[in-house]
Structure 1
């Protein structure tokens, strides 16, 4: 018997293929026509993205994500918003994925969210990722706004 010196090859993926993921989202800075607001300055907002990705092929897929957002301020916290986030996935290679998402918030805002996602560590059961979402929002009698966020999570 010969000892195996290299790890076994991963099984060939078949498509369509579904994966789930969980994460933590930190909006960092939000700008609109009047001001720039930073998270952690007077309040703290954190989101918990939960989603399913259906990959039709290795290159293209569909994703459905729900993100409850919690706001902590003045010694109390609450779920301040829930975001419904369907989108198109495009595999850019090198473990990088682009997600083009529509955004529908229970706060009355809506818009788009382009996201760049990178797998940073592959495991036997889960993969770990970081992502940079760039939400653009309209509606609810508020000016157009854009945010830069940072997200991390696991894909299983």
Structure 2
């Protein structure tokens, strides 16, 4: 009987160590990186709405680093080169420097409140609502909806809506 009790407590003790080893403790600050594809969908300005496939296609390739100070708030630094394709040719249209503050909204949602500085001479803000759709052991997949507002460079102010998806690690 003493042997059975000893074995029982040994198994329970081993099981508890295994369970505690499997629950990873997240320490802060925490650094994550990501890359994705951004598709502007529509832009609204003084002359009406323009869709992305209206005469040309523009797509962005956002890459960034997030530094989470706590579970609720962090800082993000993003760079987005935009490629424009029209009439059978393509070129880099402009580069976007996109720093911002991250706010965790819970349930996999994050709000990124970004400033925007474009090499085209435009500037503005971009709130981005982000949702993790699949969380893996080494990476997560996400979708996001950016709403860029742009000003400057002797052009009318614009507001747009886009769709982004990517992978964070």
* TM-score interval (norm. to shorter): over 0.9
Partner residue of 1:31?
44
Aligned length: 153
Distance 2:73 2:116 in 1: 20
Q: Which 5+ residue runs of structure 2 have no aligned equivalent? A: 1-10
| Post-superposition CA distance 1:71-98 (Å, at most 9, x none) | 0001100000100000000000001000
Partner residue of 2:111?
98
Give the number of the structure whose residues are more often helix, by fraction: 2
Q: Which 5+ residue runs of structure 1 have no aligned equivalent? A: none
2:78 aligned with 1:65:
yes
Partner residue of 1:126?
139
Give the number of the structure whose residues are more often strand, by fraction: 1
Q: Normalising by the residue count of structure 1, what TM-score does the alignment of the two structures yield? A: 0.94
2:21 aligned with 1:12:
no
Distance 2:75 2:116 in 1: 14
Q: Which 4+ runs in 1 deviate beyond 3 A?
A: none
**1:10–1:129 CA distance, 2 compared to 1 (3 A):** farther
Q: Normalising by the residue count of structure 2, what TM-score does the alignment of the two structures yield? A: 0.87
